[in-house]
């Protein structure tokens, strides 16, 4: 979050180099790593404010219409950071975070799209994150980014090692029922309320982290479900190996990291007795989601399932109505335990 005094400071004031990290896309998966890395190297990290109307508006204005909503929001965050006195803007090119799997073509073109569409950019740190073949290239990329701040290679390596531990810590928090967004807040020292209301339903919530944990994109779906008395189970809480083993049941390995995680989680949740229903939050125009949503719907027959597509529309009432209807259906199913009077599809 931008501190009030940071706006007053002029560019170059003080010795610290300032790095801007947009609060979008893989922020919710890797922010602790990125922040600690730059802070360990003696930089100051600035993030944009949580997504708000202005972010959305600026994002929609600066990105092509056909793009998906999270990408537009990301552009909004970059626009906001461009007004801050920062020395570098961290816009990684995230190709792949594991062997032979990708995220999405749009992630692979992000730095180029940003350069093409936003004028007056600060220098970009466009680290290429690509683990699809080996880790060697990644090593070089980390050193390249680190060399902007220090010439000592050992210091860069130490900074990365320490930062990686911070990420693990944050992920451990997320395993305890916090969302990644809450875990990041906790990690930054902002206390988070625990939702301890008496839950009578358990809902598995799937979706890409950058849409689920962004309260604006997902229209706050997690808190809405919680306030309706649902315990929300997120993919981050599930055992990673269990997810992988379920996803491996498909005849062909899914080559999108997030897509495979979603299918694996859905299959896992479908077999779990504790989970009453599954909600999938997809983004309008998302390529992998159009396939993954279909696969899930076909593979989890018997478990109530609802696909919610979000984009820049702001009609929250529509979402609330659908959630309420879905929860009502789950409750009735529970009362008439075992009876199949209600369609399992929301």
Partner 1 sequence: MQITFPHMGNVHIAIKSLLEKLKLDVVTPPPITQKTLTMGIKYAPEFACLPLKINIGNFIEGLENGADTIIMAGGWGPCRFGYYAQVERDILQALGYRFKMIILEAPDSNISELFNQVKDLGENVTFWEVLKAVKFVWHQINAIDQMEKAYEYHLAYTSDKESADKILSTGLAALDNCFHKKDVDRVCSDTVTSLENLPRHNKPVLKVGLVGEVYTILEPACNFNIIRFLGHMNVEVTRSIYLPDWVNDHLFKGMLKKSNRKEVYKQAAPYLNYWVGGHGRETVGCTVGFARRDFDGVIQIGPLTCMPEIVAQSVLQRVSEEERIPCMTLYFDEHSGAAGVYTRLEAFIDMLERKAAAGLNIISGRIN
Q: Which stretch binds partner 1 (CB under 8 A): 114-122, 199-207, 312-320, 322-330?
A: 114-122
Q: Is 103 in the site for partner 1 (CB under 8 A)?
A: yes
Q: Which of 45, 95, 97, 142 binds partner 1 (CB under 8 A)?
A: 95
Q: Which of 123, 255, 318, 324 binds partner 1 (CB under 8 A)?
A: 255
- Of 93 and 200, the one with the shorter C-beta distance to partner 1 is 93
- SS3 string, 121-148, reads CCCEECCEEECCCCCHHHHHHHHHHHCC
Q: Which of 295, 311, 312, 322 binds partner 1 (CB under 8 A)?
A: 295
In whole angstroms, give the CA distance from residue 89 to residue 143: 17
Is-contact 68 283, C-beta < 8 A? yes
Q: Which of 64, 143, 172, 249 binds partner 1 (CB under 8 A)?
A: 64
Q: Is 134 in the site for partner 1 (CB under 8 A)?
A: no
Q: 45 pairs with which residues across the strands?
A: 19
Nearest to 104 by CA among 249, 329, 289, 268: 289
Nearest to 87 by CA among 149, 11, 147: 11
- CB 92 to partner 1: min, Å: 12
Q: Is 251 in the site for partner 1 (CB under 8 A)?
A: yes
Q: Is 345 in the site for partner 1 (CB under 8 A)?
A: no
- CB 306 to partner 1: min, Å: 15
Q: Of residues 173-212, which lie at the interface with partner 1 (CB under 8 A)?
A: none
Write the burial class of residue 297 (CB in 10 Å: 0-12 exposed, 13-18 middle, 19+ buried). Answer: middle
Length of the chain: 346
- Of 186 and 295, the one with the shorter C-beta distance to partner 1 is 295
Q: 128 pairs with which residues across the strands?
A: 93
Q: Is 254 in the site for partner 1 (CB under 8 A)?
A: yes
Give residues with Cβ within 8 angstroms of 213, minimum separation 6.
28, 179, 180, 181, 222
CA angle 47, 179, 72 (to 5 degrees): 45
- Of 230 and 282, the one with the shorter C-beta distance to partner 1 is 282
Where on the chain is the footprint of partner 1 (CB under 8 A)?
63-64, 66-67, 93, 95, 100-106, 108-109, 111-113, 115-117, 128, 250-252, 254-256, 282, 284-291, 293-295, 298, 309
């Amino acid at each position: 979050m931008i501190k009030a005094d940071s706006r007053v400071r002029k560019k170059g004031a003080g010795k610290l180099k300032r790095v801007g990290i947009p609060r979008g896309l893989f922020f919710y998966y890797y922010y602790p790593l990125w922040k600690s890395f730059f802070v360990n190297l003696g930089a100051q990290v600035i993030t944009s404010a949580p997504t708000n109307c202005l972010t959305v508006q600026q994002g929609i204005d600066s990105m092509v219409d056909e793009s998906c909503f999270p990408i537009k929001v990301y552009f909004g965050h970059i626009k906001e950071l461009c007004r801050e006195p920062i020395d570098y803007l961290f816009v990684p090119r995230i190709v792949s975070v594991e062997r032979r799997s990708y995220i999405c073509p749009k992630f692979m073109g992000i730095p180029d799209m940003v350069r093409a569409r936003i004028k007056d950019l600060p220098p970009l740190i466009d680290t290429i994150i690509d683990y699809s073949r080996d880790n060697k290239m990644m090593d070089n990329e980390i050193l390249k980014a680190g060399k902007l701040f220090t010439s000592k290679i050992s210091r860069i390596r130490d900074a990365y090692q320490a930062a990686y531990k911070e990420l693990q810590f944050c992920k451990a928090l997320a395993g305890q029922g916090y969302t990644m967004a809450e875990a990041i807040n906790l990690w930054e020292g902002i206390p988070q309320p625990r939702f301890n209301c008496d839950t009578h339903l358990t809902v598995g919530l799937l979706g890409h982290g950058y849409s689920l944990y962004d309260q604006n994109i997902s229209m706050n779906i997690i808190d809405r479900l919680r306030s309706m008395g649902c315990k929300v189970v997120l993919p981050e809480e599930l055992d990673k190996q269990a997810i992988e083993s379920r996803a491996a049941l498909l005849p062909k390995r899914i080559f999108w990291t997030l897509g495979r995680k979603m299918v694996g989680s859905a299959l896992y949740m479908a077999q779990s007795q504790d989970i009453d229903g599954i909600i999938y939050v997809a983004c309008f125009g998302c390529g992998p989601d159009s396939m993954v949503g279909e696969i899930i719907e076909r593979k989890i027959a018997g478990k109530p399932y609802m696909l919610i597509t979000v984009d820049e529309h702001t009609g929250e009432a529509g979402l609330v109505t659908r959630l309420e209807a879905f929860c009502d259906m789950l409750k009735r199913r529970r009362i008439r335990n075992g009876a199949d009077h209600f369609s399992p599809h929301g």
